[in-house]
Structure 1
Amino acid sequence: MAVRGRAVETLPKLMRSPRKDSASSTVTRTPALPSLRRAFSLYDQINLIDNVPDDQLRFQRYTETGFTVNGVNYEGSLLCVGNLVTSWGPRKFSEITPQSLSIFQIIRPIPEILILGCGRYIEPVDPELRRFIRSTGMKLEALDSRNAASTYNILNEEGRIVAAALLPYGVSS
């Protein structure tokens, strides 16, 4: 009990003593280091979106009826593999079949992931279509078309082998 009493008495003195010493001290202090916060700001120094090589596909806009890719407006559905873009037949989600994605049976190297842009809303993917995509060696990610285009941009900028099959954003089931 006596030890605790001394600790309680000493604590206020310890708390006050640095304040007194710092005000009356004549010790020379070293200058403060500059803040590194600004030096490591990714927003100020690196902008991946604007520094994409010209030969890489980049979705820049989406509309109800199509997409803008590398400054070119495309109407309708698109199929992108790596840095190649082409029109794609399906106009609504129910038209996406293994036959509409049969190009992935012959394309090499096979993309590691297929990003399926379902239109305005994410749709459940038919088990037969999932089996077909899995049989090609790809993984499947079904998203709304807006997020699918963004995901494609990010993965493609990372240098990954990626494919996207996108319905226009205005499409709904």
Structure 2
Amino acid sequence: MAIRQKAVATLPTLMRALRKPPPSLPQRLPSLRRAFSLYDQVNLIDNVPEDQLRFQGYTDTGFTVNGVEYEGSLLAVGNLLLSWSPKKMSDITAESLSIFQTVRPIPEILIIGTGRYIQPVDPEVRKFIRSAGMKIEAIDSRNASSTYNILNEEGRIVAAALLPYGVSS
């Protein structure tokens, strides 16, 4: 009976502890070793050259690429990484993506990381990307960075325009 009373007395403390949000730590991109989704895979090919961009993690405010933490939105084209000005989906315009009028070779696909949730891409932006000769895919930023890794490791010409994961509108 005493064990039961002790367990019942401990229950409220346990419930409070379970309700607390976990501490905000940088989140690592999932690995195929733990999941079977193609989008969750990070390292598809072993022995990737050191100079090749590889997204290794994300936070609500930025990304970790090749061991370096970057704050804010990023634009990755092949193995070139640039800081990118849009802070939310409505900031993504043809002008913010104008680099694709001059970059050669033209990437076959532009992956747009829309933040925490998948959001629709403005029809004018879609039209601009198609006129540049690229396909476009808009997915949440976690999966967008993983997809970029996979396609880049395969040797495909790919670009990614990524908003931080914490962006939700």
1:66-103 CA-partner distances (Å, limit 9, x unpaired):
00000010000000000010100001111000000000
- State how many pairs are aligned: 128
Residue 49 of structure 1 and its aligned partner are, at CA, apart by 5.3
Residue 52 of structure 1 and its aligned partner are, at CA, apart by 1.6
In the alignment, which residue of structure 1 is the partner of 2:154? 158
> What percentage of aligned pairs have identical amino acids?
80
Amino acid in the other structure paired with 2:106: I
- Unmatched segments (≥5 aa) in structure 1: 1-42
TM-score under structure 2 normalisation? 0.73
* Whole-angstrom distance in 1 between the partners of 2:46 and 2:65: 14
Residue 117 of structure 1 and its aligned partner are, at CA, apart by 0.2
Residue 126 of structure 1 and its aligned partner are, at CA, apart by 1.0
Q: Does structure 1 retain, via aligned residues, the 8 Å contact 2:89–2:121?
A: no
Q: Secondary structure at the match of 2:119?
A: coil
Q: Secondary structure at the match of 1:53?
A: coil
**Aligned mate of 1:115, from 111, 114, 119:** 111
**Aligned mate of 2:50, from 51, 54, 64:** 54
Q: Which protein shows a greater Rg?
A: 1
* Whole-angstrom distance in 1 between the partners of 2:164 and 2:142: 9
Change (3 A) 1:48 1:126: closer
* Whole-angstrom distance in 1 between the partners of 2:125 and 2:44: 34
The structure with the largest helix share of the pair is: 1
Q: Secondary structure at the match of 2:96?
A: helix
Structure 1 runs (4+) deviating above 4 angstroms are: none
Q: Secondary structure at the match of 1:99?
A: coil
In the alignment, which residue of structure 2 is the partner of 1:149? 145
**Aligned mate of 1:97, from 88, 93, 103:** 93
Q: Does structure 1 retain, via aligned residues, the 8 Å contact 2:113–2:160?
A: yes
* Whole-angstrom distance in 1 between the partners of 2:133 and 2:56: 29
TM-score under structure 1 normalisation? 0.72
Change (3 A) 1:161 1:143: same
CA RMSD of aligned residues (A): 1.2
1:105-134 CA-partner distances (Å, limit 9, x unpaired):
000100000000000011111111100000
Amino acid in the other structure paired with 1:148: A
- Unmatched segments (≥5 aa) in structure 2: 1-32, 34-42
* Whole-angstrom distance in 2 between the partners of 1:170 and 1:49: 29
* Whole-angstrom distance in 2 between the partners of 1:84 and 1:98: 20
Residue 50 of structure 1 and its aligned partner are, at CA, apart by 5.1
Residue 51 of structure 1 and its aligned partner are, at CA, apart by 2.5
Amino acid in the other structure paired with 2:65: V
The reply on whether 1:78 has 2:82 as its aligned counterpart is: no
The reply on whether 1:171 has 2:167 as its aligned counterpart is: yes
